[in-house]
Homo-oligomer: A and B are copies of this chain.
């Protein structure tokens, strides 16, 4: 903690040139070296901040955010990351905007991009739509740059799409690296990524998907558990299997929480919507079929209600590798039985025991985002981090 040299040493041994001027839309777009560079950079930025050293690399500049779904944690994390590097946040509120009926994505993307350095987008509600939207924004700003309309290309960061939630899974990795004392110590750890009951419906699939497609790449054994009918997107499950095979780890699917918890070093139980139901919903929205949507909601809630036993209890925790001390993760907010609802994802006593851990997990998200920005905007991150360390400008000045 006395300096950032250890992180610079790690970075010096990695090939991550491809991140400069690129987007961060999915972890699976990135090489393992690039992800390792992300974790080392996030740790270095956190270290600088905790030692009150400024990591401002922008004297002025804008980070544009576009949230097509409500958000507190990610909104604040993006804002904090931007501020840490010297960018001012400018939120595009589609309701207050004169985005004309039929205005193309290409036009909106270009219009918000003059003088923008980074664009963060959350668009996670409709299967297939979030990824498509972000891809179109990315191509639009690339085109505008190529055409000489933009004098530089803002880079994109996905703040959650329908397929992946890379800022959340990166924060999760940073937390695990810290808890286990190093990335190499994650090898062979057993992780339960499991569905849990929630009295609400329609929670994004991208949370569990981001985990199963990332953890195997660092040697973790993943067990995915959900009731019948709660499948994830098939291509993401295939990707998870592929990563597991490549990295000599196991990827298993089971049908009960108990099986997944058995001997697990880390448990991550959270509700999500059935893929098939979400595809239906996407189509019904496209058709403007409100009655169909209402019927679907009723049906999905009834389907959920048959699985109220999918709740994390001390009994289930007792089955894990370290019993009640086993690491329990959740991106929050959780549905807590007896606190936020009658029956939820987790019992209040389990939540209370692991509250600090989950809050610490959340504390890494601003740094994960800041590291994405840093690696996208800085050609030589090692030299630049070193220069920040050497300058030692206090973030918070006191005589």
Contact = CB atoms under 8 A, between A and B. Distances in A.
A297 interface: no
Interface in A334-374: 335-336, 339-341, 356, 359-360, 362-363, 365-366
A371 to B, nearest CB: 14
A149 B359 contact: yes
Contacts of A62: 79-80, 83
B60 A101 contact: no
Contact of A399 (B58, B383, B398): B383
A340 B101 CA distance: 6
B340 A49 contact: no
A74 to B, nearest CB: 8
Interface string A32-65: 0000000000000000011000101111111010
A72 B107 CA distance: 11
Contacts of A336: 102
Interface string A382-399: 011011000001111111
A180 to B, nearest CB: 17
Contacts of A71: 96-98
Contacts of A69: 98
Interface of A: 49-50, 54, 56-62, 64, 67, 69-73, 75-77, 79-80, 83-86, 88-90, 92, 96-104, 107-108, 110-112, 114-117, 144, 147-151, 332-333, 335-336, 339-341, 356, 359-360, 362-363, 365-366, 377-380, 383-384, 386-387, 393-399
Nearest to A335: B100
B61 A356 contact: no
A215 B147 CA distance: 27
Contacts of A72: 92, 97-99, 108, 111-112
B84 A115 contact: yes
Contact of A102 (B110, B112, B340, B393): B340
B54 A114 contact: no
A107 B360 contact: no
19 contacts: A49-B151, A57-B396, A60-B86, A62-B83, A69-B98, A70-B98, A71-B98, A72-B92, A72-B108, A72-B111, A76-B112, A80-B115, A88-B88, A101-B340, A102-B340, A103-B333, A111-B332, A114-B362, A377-B396
Contacts of A98: 69-73, 333
A29 to B, nearest CB: 23
A395 B115 CA distance: 11
Given A387-B399, A396-B57, A83 B79 contact: no
B333 A363 contact: no
